Chain A
Amino acid sequence: MINTDPKIIDGPIAGENLTSDTRNYPWHRPPDVTDYNEVVEAMIQDALQPKEMNRILALLSNEMTLASVVDYKVLSMLSKGKFSLDMGVLAAGPYARFIEILAKDAGIKVDMGIDGPEKVLTPDIVTALTGGEELGPYREPLRPTGDQEDLPTKSSPDKPEQSGFMTPPTGPASDEEQAEMLGADRNYNFEV
């Protein structure tokens, strides 16, 4: 008997799941590092990158707890398939201690965050990280300070005016220009 129902071919083919690529996500693959010492070493080396260290210290100096920072870091590296979940939890202690030592050396008072609830990244903390200014839909670019104030800026009269097709208009078009845009100077003859 021939089945003419077109819906039947929408389903997966038997055994199709066995043909799918299980390497789609890093956590589907074996972790990059499996040795405990190497996992801690990898986390320490990651933290020692200047950009990463600045980020960590900025978070800690803006009311973020050490436990939360470690939490984010472990999850971040876990999502990249660096190590397994169990190894990440085990390496959290040494990593926290390492960050604590460097933060103290930088003069930052560290809130461990072990006893209380986890602190999450709030808009206030993000605002603090961006220099204490509230984020809006548009921010004026940073203006030069000190001796650089005399440098020509966008509104400086010394700067030559730019003109071109893509230059934003400085005001409403003149009456003549508007009339031209509306086709006033063209004599169309629609008579047939």
Chain B
Amino acid sequence: MKFEEAIQKSIQNFYDGNIPKQLNEVTEGGIKYTPEWFEKFEEGIASGESVAEATEEADKK
């Protein structure tokens, strides 16, 4: 597999909601940037919040 293909596959997996289980276990405090986090972030951006505000809101939820 080429590097570009690995990147494409990684993006596809993330959009499909697949996150490596072991990665969640070894990451201190759990994975922060999940698809759910980005949904909240997108909602904030769509409602006119700045990136900083949307990030802060997504961090809370």
Measured CB to CB, the residues of A under 8 A from B are 35-37, 40-41, 48, 66-68, 70-71, 74-75, 89-90, 92-94, 96-98, 101-102, 105, 112-114, 118
- Chain B at the A interface: SS class: helix
10 A-B contact pairs sorted by A residue (CB < 8 Å): A37-B33, A89-B7, A89-B10, A97-B14, A98-B41, A101-B41, A105-B45, A105-B46, A112-B11, A114-B12
Chain A residues, CB < 8 A from B28: 35, 37
Chain A: minimal CB distance from B54 (Å): 9
Q: How far is the CB of B34 from chain A (nearest CB, A)?
A: 8
Interface bits B19-54 vs A (CB < 8 Å: 1, else 0): 010010001110111010010011001100001000
Assign chain B's interface to a size class.
Answer: 20 to 34
- Output the nearest chain A residue to B6 by Cβ-Cβ distance: A89
Q: Would A67 and B32 count as touching, CB distance under 8 A? A: no
- The answer to whether B14 and A101 touch across the interface, beta carbons within 8 angstroms, is no
Given contacts A36-B31, A37-B32, A89-B7, 12 further A-B pairs with CB under 8 A are A67-B11, A71-B4, A74-B7, A75-B3, A93-B13, A93-B14, A94-B38, A96-B11, A101-B38, A101-B42, A114-B11, A118-B4
* Contact between A71 and B7, CB atoms less than 8 A apart: yes
Given contacts A48-B51, A102-B45, contact A37 B8 (CB under 8 A): no
**Inside 8 A of A94's CB, which chain B residues have their CB?**
14, 33, 38
Contact B45 A92 (CB under 8 A): no
Q: Known contacts A89-B6, A93-B10; is A37 also within 8 Å of B31 by CB?
A: yes
Q: Using known A-B contacts A37-B33, A71-B4, A101-B41, determine if residue A66 contacts B11 with beta carbons closer than 8 Å.
A: yes
